[in-house]
């Protein structure tokens, strides 16, 4: 009996153990799933100057972009998503801080600018860091570095590490501005102490070169691409830049390898952090000028270096996707692919962007481009991708990159103080593809302000002259001394100004804009 009872006891014990472990395991699994869902890896792939019509999924024909198209075919392809501004620095500022750049008077920065995000400000990376993420920025920065004058031979700070990134590997400003070096965390990479690095900027490019290095003005025969006056400063790797650079020869970048170097750093970062949540902000140099892709991309498009740079950028997107697949973390990773502003063809270098364009339309069906207040200044290819979580669809929801801060906060269940991320609206459901209800009202920054209210678009007049955008760049700037009002439902190319006929709507738009920018 005793033994029988014992058997029964053991059997019951066994049964209970099995049930107990089954419950434990199922709760483990659901907890793992939940935490994976609550804390996906997040990668922001940020192209530079890529226009609404520049990739296959948005209509491009003369350059193949199979990897970006793959994201679009397996995620949400947005048709009305925007960078916060029509130029780089303000867009990046808004993306990382959730506030509009006009509040900080952030405009395109020179290469020696100080950091424009104050350490201690809540940023997208600092929020994620607080929530257990390892964070990195690898690529073009263009948000300034240091407090006053930076000594590039010492610790360069504050920078990304002081505003929420655990790791940074940067092209400090832009490809067309000195210093033409990489900065890893606080230090210039490969700098030889006996050849100190200095930079200097002047408004007059004809002013004497303060350093030994040849310039585009003194040695045009050394150039791979001829440049305009503004881009005729120091020559580094056969490309003249904006500004002058002294010393730092061992640290010079090689434009052809730039993308490969950044990609390798990104892949290393993903590999090192595959076990726990990470945030990778990956701002490409492509397809900004100077467009000097690796020679293996030569002829990948029929549009010359600008098209080949698109092909290189697309290939890089593919490398990131396959890294995630190889590591088995594709389903735990959300990718946002987008661009910092609209397209430009001639932005300072003779790279045949205009001559070889054929009927390619960088702005797609829209009007304007980089620098412009028209839609193509900010409406850019935008895709959210997260296999297993984000469905495949096309979404016409209106939203802005300034919304990423609050949307990502919502995704990780982080309650943000209402004074932080002040201009950022929670577009979580839109980005995850479960809703198509975007913003009603959205500000568009350029050299003036644009305002979207549903299907209406208003452009604030400006007394300053921006004819150089229209004339030198061949881009319709949309900036004028008169007010402009368009109904995008019937006039998506913003050709028929209705400011004189839709008076009530005009007044409404004017006052909505005033509410945001706080003007009397």
Cβ burial 172-201 (10 Å sphere, 16+ → b, else e): bbbbbbbbbbbbebbbbeebeeeeebbbbe
Give the residues across from 42 on adjacent strands.
279, 334
Cα angle 150-151-153, degrees, rounded to a multiple of 5: 140
For Ca ion, the closer of residues 247 and 343 by Cβ is 343
The yes or no reply on residue 88 touching ligand NG6 (CB under 6 A) is yes
The yes or no reply on residue 445 touching Ca ion (CB under 5 A) is no
Q: Considering CB distances under 5 to 8 angstroms, the limit depending on partner class, which of ligand NG6, Ca ion, none binds residue 410?
A: none
**Least Å distance between CB 427 and ligand NG6?**
24
Residues in 302-341 at the binding interface with ligand NG6, rule: CB under 6 A: 341
The yes or no reply on residue 108 touching ligand NG6 (CB under 6 A) is yes
Tell me how far apart the 2 most distant CA atoms of the chain are, in Å.
Answer: 106
The yes or no reply on residue 142 touching ligand NG6 (CB under 6 A) is yes
CA 333 to CA 321: how far, in whole Å?
10
Separation of CA 399 from chain center: 15
Closest of 288, 393, 302 to residue 343, by C-alpha = 288
Q: Which of 41, 83, 87, 135 binds ligand NG6 (CB under 6 A)?
A: 87
Closest of 194, 150, 205 to residue 172, by C-alpha = 150
Q: Considering CB distances under 5 to 8 angstroms, the limit depending on partner class, which of Ca ion, ligand NG6, none binds residue 289?
A: ligand NG6
**Least Å distance between CB 348 and ligand NG6?**
4
The yes or no reply on residue 423 touching Ca ion (CB under 5 A) is no
CA 35 to CA 47: how far, in whole Å?
30
Q: Considering CB distances under 5 to 8 angstroms, the limit depending on partner class, which of ligand NG6, Ca ion, none binds residue 174?
A: ligand NG6
The yes or no reply on residue 286 touching Ca ion (CB under 5 A) is no
Closest of 241, 256, 261 to residue 293, by C-alpha = 256
Q: Considering CB distances under 5 to 8 angstroms, the limit depending on partner class, which of Ca ion, ligand NG6, none binds residue 173?
A: none
CA 145 to CA 141: how far, in whole Å?
9
The yes or no reply on residue 289 touching ligand NG6 (CB under 6 A) is yes
Question: What is the x/- site pattern for ligand NG6, positions 21-40, by CB under 6 A?
Answer: --------------------
The yes or no reply on residue 54 touching Ca ion (CB under 5 A) is no
Whether the bond between 225 and the residue before it is cis, its omega within 30 degrees of 0, is no
**Least Å distance between CB 230 and ligand NG6?**
4
For ligand NG6, the closer of residues 174 and 389 by Cβ is 174
DSSP state for residue 147 in the 8-state scheme: S
**Least Å distance between CB 341 and ligand NG6?**
6
- Count of residues touching Ca ion (by CB under 5 A): 5
Closest of 381, 306, 311, 377 to residue 345, by C-alpha = 306
Q: Considering CB distances under 5 to 8 angstroms, the limit depending on partner class, which of ligand NG6, Ca ion, none binds residue 176?
A: ligand NG6
CA 183 to CA 172: how far, in whole Å?
7
Pairing of β 239-240 and β 441-445: unpaired
The yes or no reply on residue 48 touching Ca ion (CB under 5 A) is yes
Cβ-based neighbours of 226, under 8 Å, separated by 6 or more = 216, 220, 349, 350
Burial class (CB in 10 A: 0-12, 13-18, 19+), 426: middle
- Contact call for residues 379 and 52 (beta carbons, < 8 A): yes
**CA-only gyration radius of the chain, Å:** 25
**Least Å distance between CB 139 and ligand NG6?**
12
The yes or no reply on residue 49 touching Ca ion (CB under 5 A) is yes
Taking CB under 5 A as the binding criterion, the range among 85-93, 192-200, 239-247, 383-391 that sits at the site for Ca ion is 85-93
The yes or no reply on residue 379 touching ligand NG6 (CB under 6 A) is no
Q: Considering CB distances under 5 to 8 angstroms, the limit depending on partner class, which of ligand NG6, Ca ion, none binds residue 348?
A: ligand NG6
- Contact call for residues 483 and 499 (beta carbons, < 8 A): yes
Q: Which of 114, 200, 230, 497 binds ligand NG6 (CB under 6 A)?
A: 230
Q: Which of 176, 314, 340, 494 binds Ca ion (CB under 5 A)?
A: 340
The yes or no reply on residue 174 touching ligand NG6 (CB under 6 A) is yes
Cβ-based neighbours of 21, under 8 Å, separated by 6 or more = none
Q: Which helix (H) or strand (E) holds 32?
A: helix 2-38
Q: Which of 60, 242, 280, 310 binds ligand NG6 (CB under 6 A)?
A: 242
Residues in contact with Ca ion by the rule CB under 5 A:
48-49, 88, 340-341
Residues in contact with ligand NG6 by the rule CB under 6 A:
48-49, 87-88, 108, 142, 174, 176, 230, 242, 288-289, 341, 347-348
């Amino acid at each position: 009996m005793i033994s029988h009872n014992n058997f029964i006891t053991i059997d019951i014990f066994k049964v209970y153990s099995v049930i107990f472990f089954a419950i434990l395991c199922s709760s483990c699994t659901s907890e793992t799933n939940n935490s994976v869902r609550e804390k996906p890896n997040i990668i922001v792939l940020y192209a530079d100057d890529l226009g609404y019509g520049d990739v296959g999924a948005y209509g491009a024909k003369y350059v193949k972009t199979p990897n970006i198209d793959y994201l679009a075919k397996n995620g949400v392809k947005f048709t009305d998503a925007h960078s916060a501004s029509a130029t780089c620095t303000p867009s990046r500022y808004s993306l990382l801080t959730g506030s509009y750049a006009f509040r900080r008077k952030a405009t395109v920065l020179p290469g020696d600018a100080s950091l424009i995000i104050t350490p201690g400000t809540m940023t997208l990376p600092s929020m994620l860091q607080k929530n257990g993420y390892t964070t990195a920025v690898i690529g073009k920065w263009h948000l300034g570095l240091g407090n006053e004058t930076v000594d590039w031979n010492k610790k360069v700070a504050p920078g990304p590490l002081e505003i929420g990134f655990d790791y940074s590997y940067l092209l400090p400003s832009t490809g067309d501005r000195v210093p033409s070096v990489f900065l890893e965390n606080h230090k210039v990479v490969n700098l030889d102490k006996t050849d100190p690095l200095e930079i200097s900027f002047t408004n007059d490019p004809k002013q004497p070169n303060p350093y030994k290095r040849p310039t585009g003005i003194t040695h045009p025969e050394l150039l791979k691409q001829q440049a305009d006056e503004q881009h005729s400063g120091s020559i580094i790797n056969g490309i003249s830049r904006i500004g002058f650079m002294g010393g730092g020869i061992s640290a010079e970048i090689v434009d052809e390898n730039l993308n490969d170097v950044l990609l390798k750093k990104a892949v290393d970062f993903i590999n090192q952090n595959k076990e726990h949540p990470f945030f990778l902000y990956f701002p490409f140099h492509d397809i900004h000028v100077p467009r000097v892709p690796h020679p293996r991309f030569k002829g990948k498009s029929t549009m010359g270096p600008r098209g080949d740079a698109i092909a290189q950028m697309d290939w890089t997107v593919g490398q990131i996707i396959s890294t995630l697949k190889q590591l088995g973390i594709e389903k735990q990773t959300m990718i946002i692919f987008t661009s910092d502003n609209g397209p430009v063809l001639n932005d300072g270098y003779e790279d045949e962007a205009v001559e070889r364009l054929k009927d390619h339309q960088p702005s797609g069906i829209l009007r304007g481009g980089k620098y412009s207040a028209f839609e193509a200044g900010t409406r850019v290819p935008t895709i959210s991708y997260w296999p297993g979580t984000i469905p495949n669809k096309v979404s016409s929801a209106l939203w802005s990159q300034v919304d990423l801060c609050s949307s990502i906060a919502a995704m990780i269940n982080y309650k943000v103080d209402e004074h932080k991320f002040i201009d950022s609206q929670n577009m979580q459901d839109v980005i995850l593809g479960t809703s198509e209800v975007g913003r009603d009202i959205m500000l568009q920054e350029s050299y003036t302000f644009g305002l979207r209210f549903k299907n209406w678009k208003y452009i604030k007049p400006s007394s300053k002259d921006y004819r150089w955008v229209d004339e030198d760049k061949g881009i319709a700037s949309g900036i004028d001394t008169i007010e402009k009002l368009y109904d995008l439902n019937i006039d998506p190319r913003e050709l028929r100004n209705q400011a004189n006929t839709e008076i009530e709507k005009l007044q409404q738009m004017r006052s909505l804009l005033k509410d945001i920018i706080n003007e009397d």
